[in-house]
Structure 1
Amino acid sequence: MSVAGNFSARLPAQLRANLTARTALMPAAILVLVALMVVPLPAVLLDLFFITNIAVALIVLMVAINIRQPLDFSAFPTVLLYATLLRLALNVASTRVVLVHGHEGTDAAGHVIEAFGNFLVGGDYVVGLFVFGVLMIINLVVITKGAGRVSEVAARFTLDALPGKQMAIDADLNAGLMTAEEARARRAEVTTEADFHGAMDGSSKFVKGDAVAGVMILAINIIGGLILGIVSHDLTLADAARTYLLLAVGDGLVAQVPALLLSIATAMVVTRVGKTQDLAGQVGMQLGITAPWLPVGVILALLGLLPGMPLLIVVPAAGAAFWLALHRRPTAPAGPAATDETNDAGAQSGARIDWADVADTAPAALDIGFALVSLVDEARGAPLMGRITAVRRQLSKSLGFVLPQVRVRDDLGLSPFRYRITLAGVVVGEDEIFPDDMLAIEAGPISTVLPGRECADPAFGLPARWIDPAEADLAEAAGYTVVDPSAVIGTHLNQLLGLHAHRLLGQDDTQALLDTLAETAPALAGALSPKLLSAAVVTQVLQRLLEEGIAIRDLRSIAAALVAAAPKSQDPAELAELIRPALGLALVQQLAGVKGALLAVALDPGLEGLLVQAVRANPGAAHPFDPALVTRVAEAAASACAPLLAAGSRFAIVTVPQVRRPLWQLLRARVAGVAVLAFPDIPDDRDVEVAAIIGTAPARAAFGPPQGDS
């Protein structure tokens, strides 16, 4: 109560009045309809409501003619319901007046009914009954039945196509062909379309039922009027028939003319095809072409040669057809590009180069050869698009930020079975797959070697072979890991996106992360940016963390560490090193589990001293080590880590803080995937087991945790 009252109090007085009037309008309209059925009305009010009914039907018909697509008149089913209720209520009210006061004369039920009755009956009520019957047949059998059938089929087909349309939207979203806002708008449009056609399927039954009710009400008025006129008012059969038949037919016509207009409007709405033009423009464009009018003119001219044909009518009609054939477009438009105006516009557009033509806004893209298009074909379920969505969702959860969309496009420059993964236009991976085969990967001991096309797994380089899908069960029994082609690309994409995640995080993403943090920790977010650090600096810090495979899910801890470290430095590289101890628990837990000892590879003190001296001699340098020293360290590290890598052990190279980042840069390409930690990164309560020392024998007995910085 208080919330609604406060909200209403803040609205301007005029707006509140408009809202109140609009809210009360529909209930008032329903009450009026009910009153028409139960309260006797004078003839003057009947005339007023009959004219209103005709005006409503005309308005609905004009709107139906001028809409471009059915959804432009999405309120049509509800409007049709209210119009039908209004017409039925008027039928009840007019029937009461006809039966009660019909003996008083043909104007007893109002001048509208009398005028329609005289116009249709024309002095002969028998002819009037037959004419009214013809109108009812046209409305009930032809228009209403056809519109109802079209509504039923459109509703069924729209509902059947709904899952495919939703998948198409997801595919376009994953391919980067639309934004998230555009996808939401299209989903809402698809849902509204399904709801509309479902409502039209039901509301078309209103029109049919109204037509049937009109026939029954006419019969009631005629039979009841004859009985009352003869029995109660002492009229002769001829006088009763003349009076009550005129009133009954006039009443029925007053109701059925608007019903016929609404039936036509319903048929127009449900049969509309296309979204770019209204009905007049669409019909004019498609009928206003040369080819059909010439034979029409010839046939009309031949008809004029028949004996007895009215030449004054046939000859002008044939002349008009010949004139249209000479002055309309020469060919039918096959599509938007077929008209001269569109061709001119297309030529001008082709000659104009826009910034969008030279800029690729998709950070990540997947180019595929034409033989792989079946993997993104909606008719086959687009398995690759679903796989890409799953990869993005999983990586976004694990890394801590929303990965951008991956644009999928076919590239005729690629070989048919090849795909290529690019980040910011730079190729980071490519390989070849076969969409009709399965990839059998030798991930362990193999009991039986299967025939197939030998290759290497794109993601991990393991020996593999492409086999026939019928041999998948046999391959799994032999020890192979069998995956489908979309999973092969998905795994490769997952690996590369995770490896290059730092290149996908932009300043806008960082700002979105900070905005999200502000919802749960507003004081912390406000203290960090822009007060202490700009969004650009925070972005560079997060990029350095992601570059080393450190997730940024715990943004609260990262932000708190940055707030504490900001007074010491504003350099992103130094800040990234300063906040690492705050993330040490998560780093060690990722390698050693919750309680296990960290398996570490240490540096020989002499070698570590050389590295420290090199860093101090070249402060701030990206590569401070001498090339000869780089070769020695790389070989020693590879030798020391080889047994651990072969055994599948999870370990980290541990060194002093000054050397950590340069050493990681040195080893990242030579000992891939190995973490390099500084001693402060390891929590004091975690045990460390030294498995090897770089610079001495690669395998060494276990020592206790290293002491100090050496």
Structure 2
Amino acid sequence: MKIRDLGVLAAVIMIVAMLIIPLPTWLLSFLIIINITLSLLVLLVAMNMREALDFAIFPSVILLLTLFRLGLSISTTRAILAQGDAGDVVETFGEFVTGGNILVGLVIFMLLVIINFIVITKGSERVAEVAARFTLDAMPGKQMSIDADLNAGMISEKEARERRDKVSKESDFYGAMDGATKFVKGDAIASIIMVFINLLFGIIIGMVQLGYEMADAATHFSTLTVGDGLVAQIPALLISTATGIVVTRAASDGNLGEDIANQLFAQSKLLYIAGGAILLLGLFTPLPEWITMPIAAVLIGGAYFINNKQKKSDDPEELLEIEEEVAADTMKSPENVVNLLNVDPIEFEFGYGLIPLVDATQGGDLLDRVVMIRRQLALELGIVIPVVRIRDNIQLQPNEYRIKVKGNEMARGELLLDHYLSMSPGDDDSIEGIDTIEPSFGLPAKWITEKVKEDAEMLGYTVVDPPSVVSTHLTEIIRANAHDLLGRQETKQLIDHLRENYPILVEELTPTPLSIGEIQKVLARLLRENVSIRNLPIIFETLADYAKVTSDTDVLTEYVRQGLARQITSQYVSGGDSLKVITIPGKIEKLIADSVQQTDHGNYLAMNPQDSQNVLEAIAKEVEKVSFMEQSPIILCSPGIRMYLRQLTERYFSQIPILSYNELDANVEIQSVGVVNVE
């Protein structure tokens, strides 16, 4: 432990000891001065802090100083009653305040107690209670605001994490302050009780045990009681004032002194009025002019000074020069150019007519929907979706939007905010509306009004509101481009997260035999074919098994797919249903296998163009047949040619899954609904 830690522990132990062990009067005097010093220091810190969390330890400080003060009160009470002497400090305070008049001293002391207990402590307690309640109630709104700023790209993940921590700490702080004010209140009550004990029992002990006369006992012990009360109440008053300052501080960029100067004396006109009022009081009332005239002069002079200062700061030419200098310095700064090079991973741009989508004051909830989209895709795909940058673009049509991935436009659409998008379940076209195309899946649809919405739903139409349309479109675009969003940096984050629970597995795989770039290629290939990488332990186990055999990332991807057989099977088979597939005959598989060229840089398919055309046409024919059966087409082939068949069909049938026999669970029933035949 460090010396300062030992010092704090020793101080706490000493405070507890003071409650039991009698202390010499010289030590009591020393500790009383220390108590006053610490209380004054706490008050100065409270006045100069800019926000509550700058003095986050304040509730604990209140507890320790209150305990210290109570320990001193008990020690001084013991010394007064046992010896009739509590040290020079207590006696000096008592004699100075009383000035030879005990009644005046008692009255002054009681006034201090009343001010501390009823005014400052009571008010601080109430403010702390209300602040704690409202801070707790405001937490959900603050968290949602942070999520909205994060999704809008206004802050980074690190900044969002820091702001969430700050919100949590503020809630804890004001909750602790609500309890700490109870210590201050209890201390004030205890001080009043101790005064009566010292005064009453002091006089009795002085007369019975120490042999004082009644008048002498009353004078002596009243002086000591007032002195003891003052040395306890002055630090208590300082701590109570500091507590009031802390709990009443609003959001500000300056300390208390700066805020008073900038806000209380900011308007020169009001100072002129106040100075004139004081001047009139001095001239037309019996109030002494030697008091009112200097005050009025100070107020009017200060108003004149502030007014001249504001005129200089508001000079248009000076402001223009300052702005030009700032702009010139900004343009000269190398960071200004560097920031222009940043490309957002995902961008959502919209015309000014779609502003209500993102404006919470107009009921827009797109920012909240984006949060849910990121969470949903993280669960589905196993990657952390980057922040979606949302901004308006005056170059777009009012109702138009577009989605970009890494600076490249991936989709564009148009919304009618006062309409609903309806899609017919069949050939029914009786609903009136504006013909359009559903942006996510390219289905024919119509924009309909609120009046015909119920009729459309009764006829079986699928009716969707504009925010849901754009949310679905954004989800599908992100899902289709997830492999482009997973770079080396994102892969490193996934590896670090996996390392927390599987350190040995990660150490065995990377940096040797596979680098982060090679792992990223495998994961990206899985995402390209809509295979979730959330089960990273199995993926890394498989890579660790086969990375020593081959370094070809295409081949390693095939091994990983086989390792994820249960996941892939459950992705396409639900419940006890059988898997309906289009199969590839041995003739075509042999043709593809014979067309594979092996090189030092990997294997690739080099099929004759005519043969490729024939195979693609045959696949298209079978896919069309299956689509007419209202089933999702799935192609099944042998493991040896799966990745080459994917290379052949990827440009034309990228959305159709191609599976191998080794990627299916042994218990699943396979039903062939078509065979790819080449004439």
TM interval, short-chain normalised:
0.7 to 0.9
Which residue of the partner structure matches residue 249 of structure 2?
272
Q: Is the 8 A contact 2:16 2:71 kept in 1?
A: no
Aligned to 2:3: 18
* Aligned positions of 1:511-530 closer than 5 A: 511-515=492-496, 525-526=506-507, 528-530=509-511
Distance 1:226 1:450 in 2: 100
Establish whether residue 253 from structure 1 lines up as the match of residue 244 from structure 2. Answer: no
CA 1:547–1:135: 2 relative to 1, 3 Å:
same
Determine which of 422, 426, 435 is the counterpart of 2:404. Answer: 422
From 173, 189, 196, the counterpart of 1:196? 173
Indicate the SS of the match to 1:600: strand
State the shift of 1:203 in Å: 1.8
| Alignment partners' CA distance in 1, 2:491 and 2:173 | 41
Distance change (3 Å), C-alpha of 1:644 and 1:164: same
Q: Does 1:85 align with 2:67?
A: yes
> In structure 2, how many angstroms separate the alpha carbons of the residues matched to 1:533 and 1:27?
56
Letter in 2 for 1:391: I
Aligned partners of 1:348, 1:639: CA distance in 2, in Å?
A: 65
TM superposition score normalised by structure 1? 0.79
Deviates more, 1:415-424 or 1:475-484: 475-484
Separation (CA, whole Å) in 2 of partners of 1:380 and 1:220 = 66
Shift of the 152–339 alpha-carbon distance from structure 1 to 2, 3 Å rule, reads farther
1:34 and 1:372 map into 2 onto residues whose CA distance is 70
**Percent identical residues:** 37
Aligned residue type for 1:428: M
1:2-81, aligned counterparts within 5 Å?
A: 16=1, 18=3, 21=6, 24-25=9-10, 27-35=12-20, 39-81=21-63
8 Å CA contact retained: 1:168, 1:378? no
Aligned to 1:110: 87
CA-to-partner distance for each residue in 1:125-147, whole Å, 9 max, x for gaps? 22223333332333233222222
Match of 1:207, SS state, is: helix
2:120 alignment partner in structure 1: 143
1:390 paired residue number: 372
Q: Which moved more, 1:414-423 or 1:262-271?
A: 414-423
The CA deviation at 1:166 is 1.7
Deviation at 1:80, TM superposition (A): 1.2
**Distance in 2, Cα, partners of 1:303 & 1:455:** 79
Alignment counterpart, residue 488 of structure 1, candidates 469, 476, 498:
469
CA distance in 2, matches of 1:386, 1:82: 45
* Unaligned segments of structure 2, at least 5 residues: none
- From the superposition, tell whether residues 109 and 458 of structure 1 become closer, same or farther in structure 2 (CA, over 3 Å): same
- 2:487 aligned residue: 506
Give the CA deviation at 1:425: 1.4
Using the TM superposition, name which of 455-464 and 467-476 deviates more: 467-476
Structure 1 distance, partners of 2:543, 2:527, is 16
The within-5 A match list for 1:141-220 is 141-220=118-197
Instruction: Pick from 625, 628, 637 the counterpart of residue 646 of structure 1.
Output: 628
Equivalent residue number for residue 533 of structure 2? 552
Output the amino acid matched with 2:411.
G
Q: Any residues of structure 2 matched to 1:690-709 within 5 Å, and which?
A: 690-694=672-676
Shift of 1:168: 1.9
Is the Cα contact below 8 Å between 1:529 and 1:535 reproduced in 2? yes
- Report if the CA contact (8 A) 1:654-1:679 is conserved: yes
Query: 1:193-342 to 2 correspondence within 5 Å?
Result: 193-228=170-205, 238-287=215-264, 289=266, 291=268, 292-306=270-284, 310-328=288-306, 329-330=309-310
- Could you say what the CA RMSD is over the residues aligned between the two structures, in angstroms? 4.4
- Cα 1:559–1:242 change in 2 (3 A) is closer
- The residue type equivalent to 2:239 in the other structure is L
CA drift of 1:539 comes to: 2.1
**Larger displacement relative to structure 2 (241-250 or 678-687):** 678-687
Deviation of the 1:504 alpha carbon? 0.8
Question: 1:445-476 CA distances to partner (integer Å, 9 max, x unpaired)?
Answer: 87x96666654433223444556779877755
In 2, are the aligned partners of 1:47 and 1:111 still within 8 Å (CA)?
yes
Pair 1:543-2:524 in alignment:
yes
1:583 Cα shift? 5.7
- Give the aligned residue type for 2:16: L
What is the CA–CA distance in structure 2 between the aligned matches of 1:21 and 1:686, rounded to whole Å? 68
Judged with a 3 Å threshold, the aligned counterparts in structure 2 of structure 1 residues 130 and 343 are, in CA distance, closer, same or farther, namely farther
Deviates more, 1:188-197 or 1:211-220: 211-220
Measure the CA separation in 1 of the matches of 2:524 and 2:495: 15
How far apart, in 2, do the equivalents of 1:279 and 1:345 lie? 32
The answer for unaligned runs of 5 or more in structure 1 is 1-15, 103-107, 698-710
CA distance in 2, matches of 1:44, 1:536: 74
Aligned mates of 1:419, 1:633 — CA distance in 2: 38
Maintained 8 Å contact 1:143/1:264: yes
Cα distance in 2 for partners of 1:83, 1:242 equals: 31
* Equivalent residue letter for 2:379: K
**What whole-Å deviation, never above 9, does each CA across 1:351-381 have from its counterpart, x for those lacking one?**
4562453133531222344555555556789
CA contact (8 A) 2:578 2:671 kept: no
Name the amino acid aligned to 1:509.
E
Q: CA deviation at 1:389?
A: 3.0
Larger mean CA deviation between 501-510 and 518-527 belongs to: 518-527
Which whole-Å deviations, capped at 9, do the CAs of 1:229-266 have from their partners, x for residues lacking one? 56666755544443333222222222111111111111
Closer, same or farther: CA 382–117 of 1 in aligned 2, 3 Å: farther
TM-aligned CA distance change 1:613 to 1:481, over 3 Å: same
Cα distance change on mapping 1:380 and 1:98 into 2, 3 Å: farther
Distance 2:153 2:111 in 1: 58
- Which one is further off, 435-444 or 79-88? 435-444
Alpha-carbon distance change, 132 to 656 in structure 1, aligned in 2, over 3 angstroms: closer
CA contact 2:566–2:664 (8 Å) conserved in 1: yes
Aligned length: 669
Summarize the Cα distance change of 1:312–1:526 in structure 2 as closer, same or farther, 3 Å threshold. Answer: same
Distance in 2, matches of 1:678 and 1:485, equals 40
Rounded Cα–Cα distance in structure 1 between residues aligned with 2:7 and 2:105: 43
Aligned counterpart in structure 1 of residue 512 of structure 2, from 525, 528, 531: 531
Give the secondary-structure state (helix, strand or coil) at the position aligned to 1:330.
helix
> SS in structure 2 opposite 1:552?
coil
- Residue 52 to residue 565, structure 1, CA distance change in 2 (3 Å): closer
Residue of structure 2 equivalent to 1:459? 440
Structure 1 contact 399–553 (Cα < 8 Å) conserved = yes
CA-to-aligned-CA distance 1:18-56 (integer Å, 9 cap, x gap): 387257336514423432xxx444433332232222122
Q: Structure 2: how far apart are the matches of 1:92 and 1:519?
A: 54
Report the residue type matching 1:547 in the other structure: R
Contact 1:601/1:654 (<8 A) preserved: yes
Q: CA deviation at 1:17?
A: 5.7
SS of the residue aligned with 1:137?
A: helix
Q: 2:582–2:636: 8 Å Cα contact kept in structure 1?
A: yes
Decide whether the 8 Å contact of 2:596 with 2:604 is kept in 1. no
- Using structure 2 for the length normalisation, give the TM-score: 0.82
SS at match of 1:599: strand
Q: Which amino acid aligns with 1:674?
A: I
SS at match of 1:354: helix
Contact persistence 1:151–1:200 (CA under 8 A): yes
